């Protein structure tokens, strides 16, 4: 794809291993590939997870849930190059529009850094992320917002203009430094960064909107994070579920009476999404589910629930509840 000479590609790849014990094997395999080309391969002779490069347990899980054809479509989607796009303002005029969000624009992939971003006029993010962030921003209704999992600032971009005040919280100092850089570049005036843990909130005052962008298994964004699929495990799912539960419990206590709790993941897994919603509603009956403001085709059972091969954007899930007065 890049036109790199074979010897340079082999050298760079082996060098990237940094002396790992597999360096010799990698060097031998790549040099043979460069010399002889790829061997003949019949995809029909292999299980789909193997030639589509996905962990077998995860492929089996998706096949059981979606059926063989939809699971295969999802794995093919994850292997496709993702487009570049974002909310670019006037700088995006004339570019290809997005599928779901007014003002979203796609950038050409031509190897040149997009001037709309390097020049400070835009922020690159998938349209699925924008759908959830804009839904939360609309629910803010000019009130006070607590944003949990704020870095590096892509959601703050949408919350800041619609809120009276945004407390943007993340536990990673390094990621919050990126948040500060983006906030300065994008002229976010109403948002204040805080480094703290989302399951031990340092606030006693209630907020009109608490937005929890929960850590998750990332199964909805494997197209953009191709290495993340190899970190999949039931243990990872279990640890994410436990953390999500703690974040929701802490967030529920930070919502003012009449305020809104907004929960979002970039996962496709029911344990992190619909089952987590059911868990929360059983535990906190004072919160009533409300429909997030989003395109009808992306919402079912008053939940944003995006399946990438069908909706052509990242797999984002979101739920919103209003707290009783």
92 and 227 share a domain?
A: no
On whether both 220 and 317 belong to a single domain, the answer is yes
Q: Is 266 noted as a catalytic residue in this protein?
A: yes
Question: What's residue 113's pLDDT?
Answer: 61
Q: Provide the 3-class DSSP secondary structure of residue 5.
A: coil
Residue with tokens 């870095």: 151
Hey, is 84 helix, strand or coil?
strand
Residues 96 and 133 placed together within one structural domain of the fold: no
Task: Share the mean pLDDT of the chain.
Answer: 93
Considering the domain architecture, whether residues 94 and 235 belong to the same structural domain is answered as no
pLDDT more than 70, % of the chain: 97
pLDDT digits (tens, 9 = 90+) for 252-269: 999 999 999 999 999 999
Is residue 56 in some structural domain? yes
Residues 187 and 205 in one domain: yes
Which residues have a Cβ under 8 Å from the Cβ of 293 and sit 6 or more positions away?
134, 135, 138, 139
User: Do 171 and 115 share a structural domain?
Assistant: no
Residue 117, pLDDT score: 64
Residue 294 lies in a domain: yes
Spatial distance between the Cα atoms of 299 and 34, rounded to a whole number of angstroms:
48
pLDDT over 90 (residue 282):
yes
Same domain? For 318 and 222 the reply is: yes
| Tokens 């006029």 belong to residue | 121
Q: Pick from 322, 317, 304: which is nearest to 210 by CA?
A: 322
Tell me, yes or no, whether 245 and 262 share the same domain.
yes
What confidence score (pLDDT) does residue 118 get? 59
Q: How many domains does the chain have?
A: 3
| Coil/strand/helix, residue 53 | coil
Q: At what angle do helices 234-253 and 274-283 cross, to 10 degrees?
A: 40
Q: Does the structure show a pLDDT above 90 at 325? A: no
- The CATH number that applies at residue 147 is 3.40.50.150
Are 142 and 166 within 8 A, CB to CB?
A: no
pLDDT band of residue 109 (cuts 50, 70, 90) is confident
> How far is residue 221's CA from residue 272's CA, in Å, rounded to a whole number?
14
Least Cα distance to 272 among 222, 318, 322 occurs for 318
Same domain, 222 and 270: yes
pLDDT in tens, 166-204: 999 999 999 999 999 999 989 999 999 999 999 999 987
- Tell me which residue range forms the domain holding 67: 49-77
In this structure, the answer to whether residues 54 and 119 fall within a common structural domain is: no
Residues 275 and 155 in one domain: yes
Q: Determine which of 18-32, 58-72, 308-322 has the lowest per-residue pLDDT on average.
A: 18-32
CB atoms within 10 A of CB 11: 13
Closest CA to 102 of 80, 134, 72, 74: 134
Are both 73 and 101 inside the same structural domain?
no
pLDDT at residue 116 above 70? no
Residue 97 resides in a domain: yes
Beta strand spans in 60-143 (E): 84-87, 96-97, 104-107, 123-124
Active-site hit among 87, 216, 240, 266:
266
Distance CA 298, CA 100 (A): 9
- Mean pLDDT along residues 70-87: 94
Does 11 reside within a domain?
A: no
Q: What's the pLDDT score for residue 115?
A: 66
**Residue 316 falls within a domain, yes or no?**
yes
Domain assignment of residue 280, yes or no: yes
DSSP letter assigned to residue 306: -
| Within a domain: 221 | yes
211 in any annotated domain: yes
Q: What is the mean pLDDT of residues 35-53?
A: 85
């Amino acid at each position: 794809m890049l036109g790199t000479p074979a010897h340079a590609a082999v050298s760079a790849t082996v060098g990237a291993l940094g002396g790992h014990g597999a360096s010799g094997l990698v060097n031998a395999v790549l040099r043979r590939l460069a010399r002889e080309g790829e061997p003949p391969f019949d995809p029909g002779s292999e299980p789909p997870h193997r030639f589509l490069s996905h962990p077998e347990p995860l492929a089996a899980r998706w096949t059981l849930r979606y059926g063989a054809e939809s699971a295969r479509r999802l794995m093919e989607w994850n292997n496709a190059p993702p487009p570049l796009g974002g909310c670019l303002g006037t700088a995006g005029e004339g570019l290809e529009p997005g599928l779901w969000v007014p003002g979203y624009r796609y950038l050409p992939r031509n190897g040149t850094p997009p001037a709309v971003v390097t020049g400070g006029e835009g922020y690159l993010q998938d349209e699925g992320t924008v759908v959830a962030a804009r839904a939360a921003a609309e629910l803010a209704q000019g009130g006070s917002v607590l944003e949990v999992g704020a870095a590096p600032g892509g959601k703050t971009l949408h919350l800041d203009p619609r809120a009276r005040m945004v407390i943007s919280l993340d536990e990673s100092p390094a990621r919050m430094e990126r948040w500060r850089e983006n906030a300065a570049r994008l002229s976010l005036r109403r948002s204040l960064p805080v480094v703290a843990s989302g399951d031990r909130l340092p606030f006693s005052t209630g907020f009109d909107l608490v937005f929890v962008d929960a850590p998750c298994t990332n199964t909805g964004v494997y197209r953009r994070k191709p290495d993340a699929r190899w970190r999949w495990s039931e243990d990872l799912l279990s640890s994410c579920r436990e953390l999500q539960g703690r974040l929701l419990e802490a967030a529920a206590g930070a919502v003012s009476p009449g305020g809104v709790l907004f929960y979002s993941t970039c996962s496709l897994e029911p344990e992190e999404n619909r089952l987590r919603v059911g868990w929360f509603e059983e535990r906190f009956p004072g919160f009533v589910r409300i429909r997030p403001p989003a395109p009808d085709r992306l919402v079912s059972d008053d939940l944003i629930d995006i399946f990438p091969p069908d909706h052509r954007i990242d797999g984002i899930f979101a739920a919103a509840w209003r707290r009783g007065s």
